Amino acid sequence: MSRSWSTTTPSKDIGTTGTPAKGCAAPYLENSHSMDCVFCHLIRDDSARWIARDQSTCAFAPRMPIAPGHTLVIPTAHITDIFDAEPSVLAASMVLVRRVADGMRSALGAQGVNILNASGPGSEQSVPHLHFHVIPRWGNDNFTTWPAGRSQHQIDDDPVRLSAMGTAPPVDGGSAHRRAQE
């Protein structure tokens, strides 16, 4: 396996609290990282505080958590957003989201979790590397992650009908949908 990054200079951009968690530091190296991406920097430099890592996904603590235990789950390879992600990547990411959520319940005593993702330039996505926020919740946390308002965007048609028309058939990687469009 070839190593494609150095471990000398930790990223100063985002999300690190210093020394990687013991036992979570073994990097899985791929050549699919973006040189400009802060999350890819974390992986290349092994400079995040890792909560879990496997071949295709990792979970780490953000620099500025909005709740105790707030965690980000990302694919190891640079994938911009859900529109860029193969079903296998999405599945692996959700499996790790579930593991993190289980840990929040068992280790932090969380009574639930919120899972947040932003994908695409109109979505307030802050880092263009697919990521899922997993936010532990407690009944007494005096906190909400739900939007306070409603979208002001207007569509001059039935958005439910249009969404149904535009939604690809599930499973098989969308190939049936692609065939249908050919």
Residues that bind Zn ion (CB under 5 A): 34, 37, 39-40, 78, 129
List phi, psi (to 5°) of 178.
-65, -40
Report in angstroms how near the CB of residue 39 gets to Zn ion at its nearest. Answer: 5
**Closer residue to Zn ion in complex, CB, 37/97:** 37
Report in angstroms how near the CB of residue 78 gets to Zn ion at its nearest. Answer: 4
Distances (CA, A) of 163 to 112, 113, 181: 30, 27, 16
Token pair, residue 145, equals: 């992650």
Question: Are the C-beta atoms of residues 141 and 120 closer than 8 Å to each other?
Answer: no
Which residue's C-beta sits nearest to Zn ion? Answer: 37
Please give the Cα distance from 143 to 37 (Å, whole number): 30
**Closer residue to Zn ion in complex, CB, 11/69:** 11
Please give the Cα distance from 158 to 152 (Å, whole number): 16
**Closer residue to Zn ion in complex, CB, 9/111:** 9
**Closer residue to Zn ion in complex, CB, 93/104:** 93
CA angle, 93 as apex, 28 and 63 as ends, to 5°? Answer: 75
Distances (CA, A) of 14 to 20, 64, 104, 154, 174: 14, 9, 23, 36, 34
Report in angstroms how near the CB of residue 19 gets to Zn ion at its nearest. Answer: 22
Report in angstroms how near the CB of residue 36 gets to Zn ion at its nearest. Answer: 8
**Closer residue to Zn ion in complex, CB, 62/114:** 62
Report in angstroms how near the CB of residue 29 gets to Zn ion at its nearest. Answer: 14
Report in angstroms how near the CB of residue 79 gets to Zn ion at its nearest. Answer: 8
Instruction: Give every CB contact of residue 13 below 8 A, 6+ residues apart in sequence.
Output: 38, 41
